[in-house]
Amino acid sequence: MSVKNEFTKHAKDYNNNNIIQQIIAKALVREINNNPEYILELGCGSGQVFKNINWNIKKYNAIDFSSSMCKLHPRGKNIQIDCFDFDSQDFFDFLKDKHFDIVLSSSAMQWSKDLKKLVSKLKDCTNKIDAVLFTSNTFKTIQEITNTKSPILSSIEIKKAFEYSFNCEFEIYNYNLEFDDKKIMFDYIKNSGVSGGNSLSFKDAKKLYKEYKLNYLEFEVIFVKTISKS
């Protein structure tokens, strides 16, 4: 299943399964300075970033590639919601001749098929990007047990992609989300969207259920703040 289909499939339940995403969205907004008035958000989902903004804005452009997720985003006279794949030419055409005070993205840009290209396109329409991305160390122990590779970019790959176009500050944080029940834990993985649609074989799933001894899931995120254009 593709990443897009994964988010579309679980859109209705997303707000019940995105605890970590909500935490980092709140942290992302908390660090924004100068109350920007013209904002572009990539991967807006159900509006977890927008819901934390408490200042007046003149225009909020919210982008997501899942129409089901876009339907969940708050509406308003200053809000424009568009269903774009942010790697697509349609999105790049949308960016032409536009300028934003800031581009925001929370737990979305790690899914870019070409993050370096995406960031370079954003460079033409903004001087400021604040983003938080999951890294490949998310679900690290699960990958070790099942001998699988994360579908998510590593922190090194993410840094290189941003540093090609901007001078940046980076901070990496690790979160553990505890569960009382192993079945609930593995259901969370399936429904949260962080797995990117990758599903385990029956054999690997059985091995994981037997050998995974932790009562929590591991998440690693990288906060990116652009300082100036390179």
Per-residue pLDDT at 198: 58
Residues 6+ apart with CB under 8 A from 203: none
Q: How far apart are CA 180 and CA 203, in angstroms?
A: 24
Copy the structure tokens of residue 133.
């991305």
Per-residue pLDDT at 168: 98
Per-residue pLDDT at 188: 84
Query: What radius of gyration, in Å, describes the C-alpha atoms of the chain?
Result: 18
The stretches in the chain having pLDDT less than 50 are 1-15
Please report, for residues 149, 165, 190, 201, 228, the alpha-carbon distance to residue 141 in angstroms, rounded to integers and kept in the order given: 11, 33, 16, 17, 36
What residue ranges do the domains of the chain occupy?
Answer: 3-229
Per-residue pLDDT at 121: 98
Per-residue pLDDT at 159: 98
Q: What is the pTM of this model?
A: 0.88
Per-residue pLDDT at 190: 75
Question: Which contacts qualify for 194-199: CB closer than 8 Å, 24 or more apart?
Answer: 194/20, 194/107, 194/134, 194/138, 194/139, 194/152, 194/219, 195/6, 195/139, 195/151, 196/3, 196/6, 196/111, 196/151, 196/152, 197/1, 197/2, 197/3, 197/5, 197/6, 197/151, 198/148, 198/151, 199/1
How confident is the model over 32-57, as pLDDT tens digits? Answer: 989 999 999 999 988 999 999 999 99
Per-residue pLDDT at 197: 53
Q: Could you say which of 2.40.50.100, 3.40.50.720, 3.40.50.150, 3.30.70.360 is the CATH number of the domain covering 3-229?
A: 3.40.50.150
Among 132, 143, 131, 133, residue whose Cα is nearest residue 189? 143
Per-residue pLDDT at 75: 94
**Which residue is listed with tokens 């568009």?**
82
Print the SS3 string covering 134-177: ECCCCCHHHHHHHCCCCCCCCHHHHHHHHHCCEEEEEEEEEEEE
| Average pLDDT value for the chain | 89
Please report, for residues 72, 92, 135, the alpha-carbon distance to residue 85 in angstroms, rounded to integers and kept in the order given: 17, 10, 20
Among 143, 144, 139, 106, residue whose Cα is nearest residue 26? 106
Cα-based torsion angle of the residue sequence 21, 27, 29, 34 in order, rounded to the nearest 10 degrees: -160
